[in-house]
Amino acid sequence: MSKQETSQMSAPLPPQAIASGHEGNLRDQISAYGSRLKNGEMGALPAVGALAVLTGLFAALSPFFLTKLNIANLFVQAAELTTLAVALVFVILLAEIDLSAGVTAGVAMDIFYLTVKAGLPWQAAIVVALVFGAAVGALLGYFVAKIGVPSFVVTLSFFLAFQGLALVLLGDGGLFRVDIPEIKAIMNESLPTWGGWVLLVVMVGLSAGLGFWDRARRAKQGLVNRPISILAIKLATITILGGGTIFFLNLNRSQNALKPIEGVPIVIPFVLALLFVGNFFLDRTRFGRHLYAVGGNPEAARRAGIKVGAIRIAAFMITSTLAVVSGLFHVSRIGVVEASAGRSIVLSGVAAAVVGGVSLFGGRGKLIHAAIGAMVISMIDNGLGLLGLSAGISFLVTGSVLALAATIDALSRKRSGSSVLRS
């Protein structure tokens, strides 16, 4: 037995018992977290660090950065990218890629526009657009899972073809206004101030509910629970960060004294709901577990009886469908559908997921990582724009951040893999 294993055995446990990682007091839990970090399981930590550094940097360099109006803008800008990045996580977890997600969203919005123009209500048009997204995903998944075309190639071909399809649908240089108040409201209007506080109560309530439910279920099986202080810290963090943000967004940020702008932008609860539901599926259902398994080792998943092809197709369908949602947010923000929509944002979406800590090698990463990554990318864009730097500089910086994130991903993978060779 190696030294390492011997020292593990001397942990203060009853003889013969195998731990579950839930044992020990707060200090033990923190040191266990520290050793996971050392083993390369860094999660979103580098991205959170980047957020803190960027906030400090831009706040120091630009007096406008921390203004109420800019912060609200930043959240709205990030919402669109977050949705796309979250969508992409589902295929990236399988070590696949969907380069066509952006243009799929673009074409879906063209179809949305044409459906409304044809006289159908906008609600039905949204359903049509979402169904189109799901169908495209099913087709992509079929090519990847059943025929065996690499996802890079098949989604690249869709990326090219759908740019053409958008031109066919809207005509050359097509650009059409979408004047539906409900759609425009998503990105341009805010909740009443009390709505923000309701949102906070729901968030904290759901987190507390799940936290206590998990503890109760473990206790019922006679298993050890983590110290309750960890749950308390988590809930306090959500309350303070969420409450602070909502308080800030509830202040009047209008520069026009006659027309106040205050409240949480309507898109925020949508994005939070998406994160919560998506996370629930990934963490707490068989589908989510199988998705991670296929991403980690498809052969092992197949031998365990998991229908690998079906999982792949489902992942592509989720990605395309959620991408359409981000397309809807885009249309809501700019108020027009255009033939060139969605060409460039998909790469930012991939960048956001990777910067946030979702591994391109598959099997590792959470939706919240993509959201944090999207915040980083949006903040770089926003901050450099405020400093009056050109779009060229913004691309250069974003590219460097992505390269750094991908390097961290590759190195941490190496480190966590190297333990095989130890002992």
**Does residue 3 touch another protein according to CB under 8 A?**
no
According to CB under 8 A, which residues from 360 to 419 bind another protein?
Answer: 362-364, 416-417, 419
Q: Residue 180 is encoded by which pair of tokens?
A: 């539906």
Per-residue interface string for the shown chain with another protein, residues 336-365, x marking contact by CB under 8 A: --------------------------xxx-
Angle at 134 between CA 131 and CA 135, to 5 degrees: 85
User: Closer CB to another protein, residue 289 or residue 333?
Assistant: 289
Distances from the Cα of 419 to the Cα of 35, 143, 423, angstroms: 13, 36, 8
Q: Which two tokens stand for residue 367?
A: 């939706």
Q: Hey, how many other C-beta atoms are within 10 angstroms of the C-beta on 209?
A: 10
Min dist. Cβ of residue 227 to another protein (A): 16
Phi, psi of 273 (to 5 degrees): -65, -40
Q: Which is nearer to another protein, 92 or 377 (CB)?
A: 92
Number of residues located near another protein, criterion CB under 8 A: 48
Piece in contact with another protein (CB under 8 A), picked from 20-28, 70-78, 148-156, 237-245: 20-28
For the CB of residue 123, give the shortest distance to another protein in the complex, in Å.
28
CB of 297 to another protein, least distance (A): 4
Select 220 or 259, whichever has its Cβ closest to another protein: 220
Q: Interface with another protein includes 218 (CB under 8 A)?
A: yes
- By C-beta, is 184 or 415 nearer to another protein? 415
Is 420 near another protein (CB under 8 A)?
Answer: yes
19 contributes a contact to another protein by CB under 8 A: yes
**Which 33-52 residues touch another protein, going by CB under 8 A?**
39, 41
Q: How far is the CB of 328 from another protein (least distance, A)?
A: 28
Q: In angstroms, rounded to a whole number, what is the distance separating the alpha carbons of residues 126 and 133?
A: 11
Residue located via tokens 């779009």: 391
Please report, as residue ranges, which positions from 280 to 319 form the binding site for another protein (by CB under 8 A).
Answer: 284-286, 289-290, 292-293, 295-297, 299-301, 303-306
* SS3 assignment, position 265: strand
DSSP conformational letter for 256: S
* Dihedral in degrees, nearest 10, Cα atoms 280, 281, 284, 286: 180
User: CB of 416: closest distance to another protein in angstroms?
Assistant: 5
Q: In what helix (H) or strand (E) does residue 338 lie, and over which residues does it extend?
A: strand 336-338
Neighbours of 211 (CB within 10 A): 17
Q: How many CB atoms are located within 10 Å of the residue 42 CB?
A: 19
Q: Distances in Å between the alpha carbon of 249 and those of 74, 123, 212?
A: 11, 29, 30
**E strand or H helix that includes residue 188:** helix 181-188
Q: Which is nearer to another protein, 133 or 295 (CB)?
A: 295
Closest by Cα among 392, 317, 321, 395 to 351: 395
The window from 99-107, 133-141, 278-286, 335-343 that contacts another protein (CB under 8 A) reads 278-286
Distance CA 291, CA 314 (A): 9
Residues within window 143-202 making contact with another protein, judged by CB under 8 A:
none
Residues that bind another protein (CB under 8 A): 1-2, 5, 8-9, 11, 16-22, 39, 41, 214, 217-218, 220-223, 284-286, 289-290, 292-293, 295-297, 299-301, 303-306, 362-364, 416-417, 419-420, 422-423
